[in-house]
Amino acid sequence: MRIVLFGRSGQVATEIARQAEAAGVKLDVIDRAVADLSDPASVAPALAERIAGAEAVINATAWTAVDAAEAEEETARAVNAVAPDEMARLCAKAGLPFLHVSTDYVFDGSGETARDEAAPTAPLSAYGRTKRDGEEAVRAAGGRHAILRTSWVFSAHGANFAKTMLRLGAERARLNVVADQIGGPTPAADIAAALLKMARAMAEGAPGGTFHFAGAPDTSWAGFAREIMARGGRGCEIGEIPTADWPTPAPRPLNSRLDCAAIHAAFGIARPDWRAGLDAVLTDLGETA
């Protein structure tokens, strides 16, 4: 199977590349040197050169600097909405499945129950707005597509919460971490595996749609941090604070719980145990697991 992949160095793109050969997938990678998504006009010629013979296209790129997006919303929109619009339209014209990664930040984080795919979106931040706009553009393109909303992504690659906690936990005896934001930490490796499985199924005729995929069990950032310290062999104590005591330029949703029943029903993909994923990341990093 041949897949065109947008992205090379991000967490999910890195994991897709690691898993592709074992999954029987040949990747044709479009990275920033080929198409800079902050200039969406670069997307069409780059994809047009590679689309012949492909069986699916995956977009694993995004502007993920949540706080920076508050001041640079138009650049974030170019990457998160306009560029995916271009990709989706080309895929629709070519009759190819298009898979796009989105986020829990499209919701407002109210309540305490897990949201399903039909829940109304109401993003709190510029990042969330641009990701919602990207979703809407992909749907409007009219082709076969899958939008995969996920949350709290971590891996051994790039910058993420798990790696930050490991670094700080080696330097400090105590850290205060937000305890009233609840969600599912999600290993990038499991997101990559889900996307590859979905791409193959859709290439064989399976329908797409919007799906939620997040790790289990749900926890707080403080609970996640405490597990990172324990499994990473850090003696750092984790104190719990409310979001109000950790102000950020972009507001965060308090409730990031995602109902992941639909992806299991459609593709047989279950929620991964993020603790097992954390152990794998620690092994990758050469840490105690």
Q: Is 282 helix (H, G, I), strand (E, B) or coil?
A: helix
Query: Residues with catalytic annotation?
Result: 127
Looking only at the bridges linking them, the beta strands covering 56-59 and 2-6 are parallel
Compute the Cα dihedral for 216, 219, 220, 225 and give only its sign.
Answer: negative
Q: Residues 56-82, buried b or exposed e (16+ Cβ, 10 A)?
A: bbbbbbbbbebebbbeebebbbbbbbb
Helix (H) / strand (E) containing 134: helix 126-140
With beta carbons less than 8 A apart as the criterion, state whether 138 and 201 touch: no
